[in-house]
Amino acid sequence: MASVYEIVTEQIVKQLENGVAPWRKPWRTEFPKNLRTLKDYRGLNVLLLASQGYVSPYWLTFNQAKVLGGHVKQGEHSSIVTFWKRSPYTRRIEETGKDETRDGFVLRYYRVFNLCQTEGIAEKLGLSVTGESGQPVPDIERCERIVRDMPNRPKMETSNAASYRPLTDTVGMPDKSLFAGSEEYYSTLFHELGHSTGHPSRVGREGIENVNAFASTSYSKEELVAEMTSAFLCGVSGISPATLSNSVAYLQGWIRKLRGDSRLLVSAASHAQKASDYILGKSQASESETEGGN
């Protein structure tokens, strides 16, 4: 049976594999709170819950939802909350030969659901699960045009995390009101659209449908391609000054993991150019002519 430590590690790694990395989360989330006590969660639980990206900061158990006259929506998955349970133990003191009882602590966990994953509760309590209480994040027409005019655009849906799912060819994005600003929203969206160009129906990139585990070479390269694509599109749309520092820090993190591969950046940049050209609707013919002139 897996230990709590193994379960927690698996949860975090799974988020990383799905593109929810702590250093790359420009949408904002309030500190998560226990809906029953209204107290903030602390420590590891902030990472486990806040990184889920739900609009509401409130969490509750399955039974608490029932007590409040509501229910968890069908198909929703729980998140875990850890806590330390007091566990007294006895040990023999060698010097005296006597047994001594001491307080120990064992890590335990229980499962919770975000208020957004429930029905029949938020309305009764007067709580919002739509994100309307956040500051408005205005559209940037140049960015909207790029997204709107992308050929063979993937399906788009509101999600609790920014992601691209090759199996359903779907880009998921948190609600725009959760982002710190318009530039962060669009740079993140461009990143996920960059991933989507790897689909066989578009540019196509080897292994896009089953990229290996987080921190592997193939995963890292694909992340570099997506981030470079975002950087190119941010430049075209004129928002690069506001997003450049984030992109540089993000790229440097991956480069450190793959310092020994001198061909990585050249290869990733080439793929990113093709990806951004595709999103911008540039023809393959013009690309061939450019390459032929070098």
The closest alpha carbon to 244, from 228, 255, 256, belongs to: 228
**The pLDDT of residue 147:** 96
Residue 172, pLDDT > 60, answer yes
Residue 293, pLDDT > 50, answer no
Mean of pLDDT values over 64-72? 95
Q: 131: number of CA atoms within 13 Å, CB side?
A: 18
More confidently predicted of 148 and 135: 148
**Per-residue pLDDT reduced to its tens digit, 93-110:** 888 878 888 787 888 899
pLDDT band at 16 (very low <50, low <70, confident <90, very high): very low
For 175, phi then psi, to 5°, come to -55, 140
Distance CA 167, CA 79 (A): 24
Instruction: Please state, rounded to an integer, the average pLDDT across all residues of the chain.
Output: 77
Distance CA 223, CA 198 (A): 11
First to last CA, the chain: 59
**Per-residue pLDDT reduced to its tens digit, 242-285:** 555 555 555 555 555 545 565 666 677 788 889 999 999 985 43
**The pLDDT of residue 249:** 55
**The pLDDT of residue 169:** 95
Q: Which two tokens stand for residue 259?
A: 């310092």
User: Are the CB atoms for 53 and 27 separated by under 8 Å?
Assistant: yes
**Per-residue pLDDT reduced to its tens digit, 190-248:** 999 999 999 999 999 886 766 554 445 566 778 888 887 887 888 788 886 555 555 55
Residue 40, pLDDT > 70, answer yes
User: Are the CB atoms for 129 and 96 separated by under 8 Å?
Assistant: no
